[in-house]
Chains A and B, each alone.
Chain A
Amino acid sequence: MKDCCGPGYSSPQEAIEAPREKLLYTIAIYTGTGIQKPDYLATVDVDPDSPTYSQVIHRLEMPGIGDELHHMGWNACSSCHDDSSMSRKYLILPGVRSNNLHIVDTATDPRAPRLHKVIEGAEIKAKADLSGPHTVHCLGSEIIISFLGNAKGEAPGGYLQLDKDFNIIGRWENSMGDIKFGYDFWYQPRHNIMVSSEWAAPNTFMPGFDLEEVGYLKYGRELHFWDFEKKVPVESFYLGEDGLLPLEVKFHHNPDSTHGFCGAALSTNVIHWWKNEEGKWQWEKIIDVENEIHPEWPIPLPGVMSAILISMDDKYLYLNNWLHGDMRQYDISDPHNPKLTGQVFMGGLLGKAPQVNGVDVAGGPQMFQLSLDGKRLYVTTSLFSTWDNQFYPDIRTKGGVMVQIDCDPVNGGMKINPDFIVDFGQEPNGPSRCHEARYPGGDCTSDIWL
C-alpha cells in the first residue's frame, strides 16, 4: 500500500497510528539576542531509548545573520498522498526579517538536515512585492506562503506561490479584497474554503509591541473566508474586542468538517466557526481566558494566546497563555462547548513555575507541536525576538527551553514529563531561542486532506 503512495497518510486515523516520532526539528534564533551568529535549525533527539535523548544532536546554520526564523512548512503533506512522484523531503524556513526562504533537505540524512536552496528576499520583493513571510502550506504539488507586507513592509501583503522545484510562480491570490492584514491561513478543500487571520504590518510588529497601536487599528481584528478555487476573499467577520490579534487558524483535520478555530492573542479568546444548515458561515467565542492581576502592574495582564493546535483526532484543542505561563487542554468533542481538561504552568510572568525540571524558564509557553498519537506535546518559550526582549528580558542570558508535556488523549489531562528538557541557554554559541517544531513524518499542524 505504502509503496504506491506519496507523502503523508491516507486519513487522520492512519496518521494517528503512525510510528512514534524519534526526531524533532525546531528553529533557534540569534537575531535580536546580541549574539552575532546565524539562526539555525536544531535537530532534537526525542527517542527515549537513544543515548542522546533530550539533546540537540545537530545544528544547521543559515548562510547569514538576521533572518529571524519563525515558522516552517513542508514541501508536501497528506494533500499529495495519492501522488507517488512527491515526497516529504524539504522543510521551508522563512526569515521574517530578511525575507529569505531557506529550503532544507531533511530526507537525505534526517538527523543532519542540509541546505538545498535559498530564495533570496530581494528576489521575492522584486518579483512579487512581498515581505514578512509567515505560514507555509503545500497545495497539492505546489506551495503557498503568507507574507504580511509588501516590499516596503506595509500591510496587507499577500501570498507567494512556489512550484514544486521552489521557483517563484508569483502571487497566489487573485485579490486581497478589503483585507487589511495577513498572518496565518488554513484550507479545507472539500468545502472550497480557506480562512485567513490578521496580525499587523511588518513595520508595526517587527520593532516590538506598542500596545497603544491596537487602539489606532494597527493590529487586526477580523477573520477572512476565501473562495479557495477562485483565490478571492468572499466574506469577512469583524470580531471586535473579542478578537484582537486573531492569529493561529486551524480547521478540524477531518476533511469533511466545516469546524475551525482561531486564537485571538490579545483578547485571549478562542473563536470557533462552522457552516450552518443553511450553508452560512457562523462564528462564536467559545473560550475566554480572563486577564490576571499582576501585583506590581497598573494594567491587568492578558494571557496572550499566540498559538492553538488541534489533536489529530479533533478531540482536543491546546492553547498557550504566553504571559500567564500556562498551557491548556480543552475537550472540543462538542466544539460549541469546550471543557477544560488539563492545565500546566511553565514560566510566565505570574511566578507560578519559574523552573521546569531544574531549568529556569525565562519566557512562557509559546509554540507547541503535538505527536500524531496525541500523547506528547513539545512546547517552546520564545515568541519573537523583539517581543521577547520587551516582556522577558532575562531570555537574553537564559535562552529558550523546550519542554515535553505528557497528554492523556483518552481521559484528558496534562503533566510535565520529568525526563525531558532541552535548555537552549546551553547552546555552544550562547543562549538561543527556540520556536516552532516539526517532525520528519508530518505533524498536527501541517497535513491537510483533499
Chain B
Amino acid sequence: MTEYRVTLSNRGGAAYMVNGRRPLLEQLRDQGVDLPYGCEYGGCITCAAKLVEGHVDQRRQVALNNRQIENGYVILCVARAVTDITLEIGVESHDKLYRNPFLDPLKPHELKADIATPEDV
C-alpha cells in the first residue's frame, strides 16, 4: 500500500507515515499524536487542522465553508492523504477558522458548498 509522510510543522517537524485508505485523525492518534476531535464523521470542526503543503481527499466533510477551505482547513476525522503533506495542528492553527459573522460577512462564493454561488458568473 502506498504510504505518505505527514509532517507536523508546529510539532518541531515530527513526521509520521500514513496510508491513503484511513482518515488522518485515526492514523495519527494511533501513532500517539494528541489531537482534538468531536463528531468523528466530518460534521463539526473540532478536529480542523491547516494544510500547509500537499493534498488530501476530504470529500466526506460537511462542516467547512468555502472560505475555511480556501484558508487551508481540513477535517482530520474524514480527510485522507493523497500526497505527502505538512499540517499545522491543534487550536494554534485555528487563527482563521473562526470569524465573527457580524463583523466579517461571507461573500456568496464563500458559503458552504451546497449553497455557494460561483465567484464569476
Question: Residues of A at under 8 Å CB distance from B?
Answer: 31-34, 36, 65-66, 68, 97-99, 131, 149, 152-153, 202-203, 206-213, 216, 218, 294, 296-299, 301, 385-386, 389-391, 393, 396
Please give the distance in Å from A37's CB to the nearest CB on chain B. 10
11 residue pairs of the A-B complex, CB under 8 angstroms, read A34-B90, A65-B36, A66-B38, A68-B38, A152-B41, A152-B43, A153-B62, A203-B44, A212-B105, A297-B103, A389-B97
Residue of B nearest to A209 (CB): B101
A-B contact count (CB 8 A): 104
Contact A216 B36 (CB under 8 A): no
Residues of B within 8 A of A211 (CB): 101-102, 105
Sample of 15 more A-B contacts, CB < 8 Å, known A31-B38, A210-B112, A389-B94: A32-B36, A36-B34, A36-B36, A97-B44, A152-B43, A153-B62, A202-B43, A202-B44, A203-B43, A208-B45, A211-B102, A211-B105, A299-B103, A299-B105, A390-B100
Contact A32 B101 (CB under 8 A): no
Please give the distance in Å from A400's CB to the nearest CB on chain B. 17
Contact A385 B102 (CB under 8 A): no
From known contacts A152-B41, A206-B45, infer whether A390 and B36 are also in contact, taking CB-CB under 8 Å: no
Contact A390 B99 (CB under 8 A): yes
Residue of A nearest to B43 (CB): A153
Size band of the interface chain B makes with A: 20 to 34
Contact B45 A202 (CB under 8 A): no
Residue of B nearest to A202 (CB): B43
Question: Residues of B at under 8 Å CB distance from A?
Answer: 34, 36-41, 43-46, 62-65, 90-92, 94, 97-103, 105-106, 111-112, 115
Contact A298 B103 (CB under 8 A): yes
Residues of B within 8 A of A208 (CB): 45, 98
Interface-centre pick from A206, A211, A212, A218 (highest chain B CB count, 10 A): A212
Residues of B within 8 A of A33 (CB): 91
Bound Cα distance from A393 to B96, whole angstroms = 12
Residues of B within 8 A of A207 (CB): 43-45, 63-65
Residues of A within 8 A of B45 (CB): 206-208, 386
Bound Cα distance from A303 to B91, whole angstroms = 28
Contact A66 B112 (CB under 8 A): no
From known contacts A207-B44, A208-B45, infer whether A97 and B39 are also in contact, taking CB-CB under 8 Å: yes
Contact B46 A32 (CB under 8 A): yes
Residues of A within 8 A of B90 (CB): 34
Residues of A within 8 A of B99 (CB): 390
Q: B91's contact among A34, A153, A209, by CB below 8 Å, is which? A: A34
Please give the distance in Å from B40's CB to the nearest CB on chain A. 8
Bound Cα distance from A391 to B98, whole angstroms = 9
Residues of B within 8 A of A206 (CB): 38-39, 43-45, 63
Interface-centre pick from B43, B62, B103, B115 (highest chain A CB count, 10 A): B43
From known contacts A207-B45, A390-B101, infer whether A396 and B115 are also in contact, taking CB-CB under 8 Å: no
Interface-centre pick from B64, B94, B100, B105 (highest chain A CB count, 10 A): B100
Please give the distance in Å from A323's CB to the nearest CB on chain B. 8
Bound Cα distance from A152 to B62, whole angstroms = 10
Bound Cα distance from A386 to B36, whole angstroms = 13
Q: B65's contact among A97, A131, A210, A298, by CB below 8 Å, is which? A: A210
Residue of B nearest to A396 (CB): B91
Please give the distance in Å from B65's CB to the nearest CB on chain A. 6
A-B CB proximity, top 5 nearest = A97-B38, A34-B91, A206-B44, A211-B101, A153-B43
